[in-house]
Structure 1
Amino acid sequence: MAGLGQVQLSPPSLAVLHGAQARFNCSTAAPWVVMSWFLNDRAVITVSAKHGTLSNSVSFTVTNRTTTRSTVWELVIWNVTRNHTGDVTCDFQNIGRQTATLSVQVAGTVVIDGGNVTGRKGGRVRFRCQASDWYPAPTLTWALAVNQEVNNYTTSHAAAPDGLFRSTSTLDVLAVVDTWVQCQASVPALPAPKTHRVFLTVGPGGDDQTVLIAVVVSVLTIPLLVLLIIALICCCVNERKSRRTEDTRGNGRCGEVATDRAGQGQNNLGYSWNENTGVAPSEPRSDRGPPISAGAHQAPVSSGQGVYPGDFRTIRHATTV
């Protein structure tokens, strides 16, 4: 039997994505009769130097790539699945064999929870990245648009019953300037990581927010003061109008009373009719005073001469001391 060095298998290890193709090349410079391919110690295809391919299938094919210097056979595994993961062996009968490793991987989804975020300037904003349905567990990393070191994040992995992994990574970002934040998930079979990007918008900080609130309050206070002044002016005007209306009504009533008094004339409050003499004395008699002498008469107390019906004599009262 020739030494193992006479059989070459490349690549020694291969990682491909689910659904892709896996290709291996096996070669020897020694004369050969039969060669076989094995997957996890199970023969999948056999080739005869005299008769060619002795067995074939839809999932496994071989192609002769022999050169003038060596015999080369290429094995192609089509539409690989995770069941194809394992050892791939090339065996040249009576010459030697070599084994390579095949890893079939699954690239799932990656997303940053919550989408775009607005953060307070100077504060910290937390981002959470979810990578679902990966095999094997993906490597999660972060990237920022600004030149800021990204190392303050944690990552955890959990396997589902079907063998796929769900990974979570949490990142804290210091809100300094507007930037994009990108989560990256990768496995060796991916030519480039899968990414998801969101944007961080930096809003006013604590001091800036206080100033903004003060400005807003000031702007809102001025219209309120103007409205209050207008309301006070309107109240004063309405009150003056109400007073003028009441004064006008009061003057009207006073005029009516004066007119009524002018039409009635003046009343003599001292008038009293004397049935015996037919004379109306101007003031009532006092029981305390001395008797009035005969023939004396008292003039009625009034602002003018009193005129009484039935008697046109002037009556005067004299008091003896």
Structure 2
Amino acid sequence: MDVFILSLFLLTIGGVSAQVIEPQSAVVLKGSQARFNCSTTQAQPVMTWLMNGLLVVNIQQNSVYNSDGRFALTNFSTPGSFKWEFMITNVLRGDNGTVTCQIFNVAPQTSTLSVQERGSVAIIGGNQTTTEGVQTTFQCQALGWYPEPTVSWSVNGVGVNTCNNTSVAQGNVFNNNCTLSVTAAKNSSVQCLAKVSAMSTPDSDTRFLTVVPKPTIVPKPNIRDQTILIAVTVAFSAAALLFLLIVLIIICCRRKREKSSYEEEVRRAQLQAQHRSRARGDGHGRDNRGYARDGHYGDNHNGGVWHTNQSNKHQRAYPMDDYSGTRNNRHLTMV
């Protein structure tokens, strides 16, 4: 306590020098380190550091006194430059606020400290397999962040801005749900990314989307077109059947006619053969009524039948069927 009182007393007496604190503001993650540098152009016997107005570190004649083991000072002074680094380890959310460097008889220099908190990020569910062209949904949860995180999606390494984002404050942290809808086109890697400004790179979680080809679907025929096709087929079939029937009828009629003509020819030939047979054997001159048979004459009593033998030029009366080796001519003499 006496040291702090002495430090305040020394701040009230002489000396003027320029003073600079760097950085002007710092943003760090909870549990990490925060560093601030305070420098003057002249060496000063007393330097104090305050957080949110409370004295936490005091330097007197190069001796360091601090109120908490999380605070530390390192001397980086060189000839002509008086410089000390103030470091806070294991930064807490309660460390948010101002950090002030006070040098004797110089206006204090103040910086700001912002402490952020990293949560977790995960895509709900495992890898997915879906059919080409089907819309698929991925859901990402970012839990326990401060302040509210930025959540985004990446498909095959390309950022996607379509994200239905809902954020809920739970105590002093934020929980975030983000949904991505993607149409399956090809095998892809899907990433959900979450970060706050204190992070140089976002945290992420990855799932894989496997796309299978769409099944080949044979289109159903139009009922009307099918009916027309059936009607046309039936009509052509009926026409072909009718044509074949007509051809068969014509062929049958022609064959019947040819058969009838053939039978008629056969019948006519048979009749002619019968006539020739009668003329040669059974007739014996019956076709000549004037022919004399067995001493009788035919019905024509006015004449007689004479046969001329051309070999001896003698006329005889004998039947024409007498084959004596000479040619016989039958003559009918009318008186």
Bin of the TM-score, shorter chain as denominator length: 0.5 to 0.7
2:191 is matched by which residue type in structure 1? Q
Quote the residue 1:188 is aligned against: 197
| Aligned: 1:93 with 2:104 | yes
SS in 1 for 2:108: strand
- Tell me if the contact between 1:45 and 1:60 (Cα under 8 Å) persists in the aligned partners: yes
1:137 corresponds, among 144, 148, 151, to 148
Quote the residue 2:34 is aligned against: 22
Quote the residue 1:8 is aligned against: 20
Quote the residue 1:202 is aligned against: 211
| Aligned: 1:124 with 2:135 | yes
Q: Map 1:1-321 onto structure 2 (within 5 A).
A: 6-48=18-60, 50=61, 52-145=63-156, 150-161=160-171, 163-205=172-214, 208=215, 210=217
- Tell me if the contact between 1:185 and 1:193 (Cα under 8 Å) persists in the aligned partners: yes
Q: CA deviation at 1:34?
A: 1.8
2:142 is matched by which residue type in structure 1? A
- Tell me if the contact between 1:63 and 1:74 (Cα under 8 Å) persists in the aligned partners: yes
2:119 is matched by which residue type in structure 1? G
User: CA 1:201 to 1:187, structure 2 compared with 1: closer, same or farther past 3 Å?
Assistant: same
CA–CA separation in structure 1 for the residues paired with 2:163 and 2:155:
13
What does the per-residue CA deviation read over 1:213-233, in whole Å, with 9 as the maximum and x for residues that have no partner? Answer: xxxxxxxxxxxxxxxxxxxxx
- Tell me if the contact between 1:158 and 1:167 (Cα under 8 Å) persists in the aligned partners: yes
- Tell me if the contact between 2:16 and 2:105 (Cα under 8 Å) persists in the aligned partners: no
SS in 1 for 2:109: strand
User: CA 1:116 to 1:24, structure 2 compared with 1: closer, same or farther past 3 Å?
Assistant: same
SS in 2 for 1:122: coil
1:173 is matched by which residue type in structure 2? V
Q: CA deviation at 1:145?
A: 0.9
2:75 is matched by which residue type in structure 1? N
Q: CA deviation at 1:188?
A: 1.9
Structure number with the higher strand fraction is: 2
What does the per-residue CA deviation read over 1:51-89, in whole Å, with 9 as the maximum and x for residues that have no partner? Answer: 522444311111111122311111111211111111111
Find the structure with the greater CA-based Rg: 2
CA–CA separation in structure 1 for the residues paired with 2:114 and 2:66:
24
Q: Percent identity, please.
A: 39
Q: CA deviation at 1:37?
A: 0.6
What does the per-residue CA deviation read over 1:88-134, in whole Å, with 9 as the maximum and x for residues that have no partner? Answer: 11111211221111122211110011121122211221111100011
Q: Which ranges of structure 1 fall in alignment gaps of 5 or more residues? A: 212-321
Aligned length: 205
User: CA 1:126 to 1:41, structure 2 compared with 1: closer, same or farther past 3 Å?
Assistant: same
- Tell me if the contact between 1:142 and 1:182 (Cα under 8 Å) persists in the aligned partners: yes
Q: CA deviation at 1:196?
A: 0.1
Pairwise CA RMSD: 2.1
1:152 is matched by which residue type in structure 2? T
1:195 is matched by which residue type in structure 2? S
CA–CA separation in structure 1 for the residues paired with 2:55 and 2:66:
10
Q: Which ranges of structure 2 fall in alignment gaps of 5 or more residues? A: 1-13, 219-335
CA–CA separation in structure 1 for the residues paired with 2:157 and 2:142:
24
SS in 2 for 1:44: strand
What does the per-residue CA deviation read over 1:135-165, in whole Å, with 9 as the maximum and x for residues that have no partner? Answer: 1111111111165x6122122211112x011
SS in 2 for 1:43: strand
Q: CA deviation at 1:31?
A: 4.4
What does the per-residue CA deviation read over 1:248-275, in whole Å, with 9 as the maximum and x for residues that have no partner? Answer: xxxxxxxxxxxxxxxxxxxxxxxxxxxx
- Tell me if the contact between 1:113 and 1:129 (Cα under 8 Å) persists in the aligned partners: yes
